[in-house]
Structure 1
Amino acid sequence: MPPRPVLIVEDDAVLCETLFEQLSQEGEFAPQIADTTAAAAEKLAGPVRFDAILLDLGLPDGDGREFCARLREEGQRMPIIMLTGRDREEDVVQGLDAGANDYLAKPFRLNELLARLRAQLRIHDNSEDAVFPIGPHLFRPAARLLVEPTRNRKVRLTAKESSILKYLYRAGGRAVPREKLLEEVWGYNAAVCTHTVETHIYRLRQKIEPNPAMAQLLLTESGGYCLMAGA
């Protein structure tokens, strides 16, 4: 899977640098930094679609809880984990009521933060709010829907088509054998004819490729298929 964009909204320069370095390791995440709510709002309005936000409670130009509540009102549904030096029950409740998914008091262990971030992303990926970019499309697995914002176009998917796309997306551009797709999507093994997969891939290409005869997103490779989500 491509590195997951995470926005760090924190005005402590030392903590910011530490979080940036930790999240950048091993290519799992692609962090960006904002030290004010205004800078964060600007990044969120930009071309990058962030998968999660690490949000400080006290920022130079505003309260993190108010900023979180505003994001939820604007329709932002990615996981938000609040980071704060306040750990009273009242503070935790207020943070969660503002729309945060989790709340971590400083000082915290980095491994715990990473574990909580991964857990929130797993939950989100299986929720109604999950959205994955695939070429010019935004893929909403729970709704079985591909949205192409630039053309104001929506494409409905079958349950199997949605499951194939989700599995290939999570493979991060690696080729997935036909037999593996049969096992993961249909629940049975290579003893069943792989023509079933080929038929579904053909139909998917008709829906997602600008020119299905010259595939650019859903490619045949090494006895299987790979999805070039960032193409």
Structure 2
Amino acid sequence: MPGARPILVVDDDDALRGALVEQLGVNGEFAPAEASSLAEAEIRLKGGVRYEAMLLDVGLPDGDGRDFCRALRERGLKAPVIMLTASNEEEDVVRGLEAGANDYLAKPFRLNELLARLRAQLRSFESSVDAEMKIGPYQFRPSARQLLDEKGSKIRLTDKEAAILKYLYREGKAVPRQTLLEVVWGYNQAVSTHTLETHVYRLRQKIEADPQNARILLTDGGGYRLAP
């Protein structure tokens, strides 16, 4: 679903990797995939899924995770990378960060700390110019308030239109009109559901092939949702 965030877990410790994948997938916030080697990670990365973050072990059977991270950055990967390592020596931490990692966590670590750091990195990335989300046939760039279609053509969005899409994407389910109003416009008695409906109408004119028969931005009960 749109709200489940694809995360790639790369670690050769089967027990740890399995536990991380299980915990990340518990409440539907994340959609974790796993790899036990750099070769498997490459296959995952080439499989068509745009992972929003990566948990990457330093010591893997077929190479050093830091070298892999550096190579990914050189190839244009922008998503957050959190390095996992058995060492917390300053030199190792510096090497990981210099390779392009966003954060560094020494084993053993508490799951709650890992989740907190992961969410913090995702929030930071969301506000960066590099953030992208897949919505229907489009790549959505929230910070630029822009959609790119499959041919690379750009669709400009207003602040409110971008905020509506971003919130619906993150929720991954139907959102009541009143909730969207409060999130996007804040508490403002002068703003009514008609204002939201007008923005949704204009959004559909921009993104739907047939705005009268929406297939991307759907009306659902008393609110709206994005199609899976």
TM-score bin (small chain): over 0.9
Q: CA deviation digits over 1:19-64, x for unaligned, max 9?
A: 1222121222211111121211121111211111000001111111
Inter-partner Cα distance in structure 2 for 1:16 and 1:171: 26
Q: Looking at both structures, which has the greater relative contact order when contacts are Cα pairs under 8 Å and sequence separation is at least 6? A: 2
Aligned partner of 1:168 in structure 2 is: 168
1:1-231 equivalences in 2 (<5 Å): 2-149=3-150, 151-177=151-177, 179-228=178-227, 230=228
Structure 1 residue matching 2:140: 3-state secondary structure: strand
1:80 is displaced (CA, Å) by 0.5
1:186 is displaced (CA, Å) by 2.6
1:141 is displaced (CA, Å) by 0.2
1:198 is displaced (CA, Å) by 1.9
Inter-partner Cα distance in structure 2 for 1:221 and 1:191: 25
Inter-partner Cα distance in structure 1 for 2:34 and 2:224: 35
Note the aligned Cα RMSD (angstroms): 1.6
TM-score (norm 1): 0.91
1:190 is displaced (CA, Å) by 4.5
Structure 1 residue matching 2:166: 3-state secondary structure: helix
TM-score (norm 2): 0.92
**Aligned residues of 2:69 and 2:99 also touching (Cα < 8 A):** yes
Closer, same or farther: CA 166–17 of 1 in aligned 2, 3 Å: same
Ranges in structure 2 where 5+ consecutive residues have no aligned partner: none
Structure 2 residue matching 1:2: 3-state secondary structure: coil
Q: Which amino acid aligns with 1:187?
A: G
Ranges in structure 1 where 5+ consecutive residues have no aligned partner: none
Inter-partner Cα distance in structure 2 for 1:72 and 1:227: 31
Percent identity of equivalent pairs = 60
1:189 is displaced (CA, Å) by 3.0
Inter-partner Cα distance in structure 2 for 1:197 and 1:22: 36
**Aligned residues of 1:183 and 1:190 also touching (Cα < 8 A):** no
Inter-partner Cα distance in structure 1 for 2:209 and 2:218: 13
